[in-house]
Amino acid sequence: MNQTDHAQQIQALAKRLDRLLETARRLAAENQALKLQYGQLAGERTQLQGKNELARHRVETMIGRLNELERGDE
């Protein structure tokens, strides 16, 4: 191998390293965005679970009242 071959190999490795570094940066940014999105979705899920529990309690209360009204009419 001569110096030209070595220089070409080094250049090819440098280009490959640059692509790998860019891929790593892109994946890190994507990972950060996904973590943020996950946090937001987890918060939304918690809120929806609370709303669901409140609605369930209200429905159960209404059913109880209806049952009491039915018993009162008998």
% of the chain beyond a pLDDT of 70: 97
Nearest to 28 by CA among 39, 17, 20, 40: 20
As a whole number, mean pLDDT of residues 33-61 equals 98
pLDDT digits 0-9 by tens, 17-46: 999 999 999 999 999 999 999 999 999 999
Place of tokens 């009491």: 68
- Tell me whether residue 43 is exposed, middle or buried, using C-beta atoms within 10 angstroms of its C-beta: 0 to 12, 13 to 18, 19 or more: exposed
The verdict on pTM exceeding 0.75 is no
- Amino acid of residue 18: D
Question: Which tops the pLDDT comparison, 28 or 4?
Answer: 28
Nearest-angstrom CA–CA distance, 56 and 30: 38
**Residue 51 structure tokens:** 């709303």
